[in-house]
Structure 1
Amino acid sequence: MPLTRIALRAGKPAEYKKALTQGIQRALVETCNVPKDDIFMLITEHAAENFVYDNQYLNVERSDDLVIVQITFNNTRTLDQKKALYKRMADELAASPGLRREDVFINLVEVLKENWSFGNGLAQYAL
């Protein structure tokens, strides 16, 4: 069960943001065994002065189209799955909405299964 946060500069149309969520979800399903309908994503848009980044860190040439994707999920994925996710997500987002691979920044946050409650005040994965 991933929780995905997507941050980008304000001003992109709804279709662009929909393409982001769809591409990210496809990458998660295809590389990390996430069920197709297991989708929880939050998009935040930021004014230029509130979206601060290094446009050349580690020799990656980033533009103002940078999209930062942070995914929180269980600590059950292998290194190979994570690498496959990074590549697949960059490929998906390059195909649609046409994002440059250099502008796909991904951060994974791994948690224990008992750190989730999906409602009703229960820790469903810890039962």
Structure 2
Amino acid sequence: MPFVRTSVRKGTSQDRKSQIVAGVHQALIAAIGMPEDELFNMVAEYEPGDFFYDRTFNGIARSDDLVVLEITLRRGRSDAMKRTLYASIASRLEEAGISPKDVFIFMHENDYSDWSVGNGAFAMAIVQQRGSDT
């Protein structure tokens, strides 16, 4: 279950935020086989004066509209899967009008033992089992 933190420049419209979330979600489904119901994406705005970054790091010309995606997920995806995921995210966000140059992605990987996804249950004990709250 990936958990995504999306940071966008203050003043980004709700529609643009929704497009970013949808694009990232669809890329996760397509590239790593994430189930559709695993949507957890927290969007936050940053003030322009509170985020400092190099506009030309690694030879990429970034604008004022940098979108930062921090993805936390269970370890086990290959480098090829990650490469496909990053490209898919950039492509889907470009369809939403965001330059691929302004898409900055990084990942944190961990294990099932590092999660509790509800009811205080240790995720290791419920590994991908679908439950019922009734």
Same fold flag (TM > 0.5): yes
**Cα displacement (A) at 1:125:** 2.8
Distance 1:37 1:52 in 2: 34
Equivalent positions of 1:111-126 (< 5 A) are: 111-126=110-125
Structure 2 stretches lacking a partner, 5+ long: 127-134
The alignment yields a C-alpha RMSD, in angstroms, of 0.9
* 3-state DSSP of counterpart to 1:88: helix
Gapped regions of structure 1 (runs ≥ 5): none
What is the identity, as a one-letter code, of the residue corresponding to 1:37? D
Partner of 1:110: 109
Q: Distance in 1 between matches of 2:124 and 2:22?
A: 26
**Alignment partner, residue 38 of structure 2:** 38
Aligned length: 126
Cα contact 1:23–1:92 (8 A) shared by 2? yes
How far does residue 124 in structure 1 lie from its aligned partner after superposition? 2.2
Q: Identity across aligned pairs (percent)?
A: 33
**Structure 1 partner of 2:76:** 76
Structure 1 stretches of 4+ moved >4 Å: none
Aligned to 2:85: 85
> Deviation of residue 8 (structure 1)?
1.4
How far has the Cα of 1:92 moved from its partner?
0.2
Deviations along 1:34-81, one digit per CA (max 9) or x if unpaired, are 101110010110111112111111111111111000000000111110
Deviation at 1:95, TM superposition (A): 0.4
**Matched residue type, 1:107:** F
1:109 shift after superposition = 0.5
Corresponding residue for residue 54 of structure 1: 54
Which letter maps to 1:9?
R
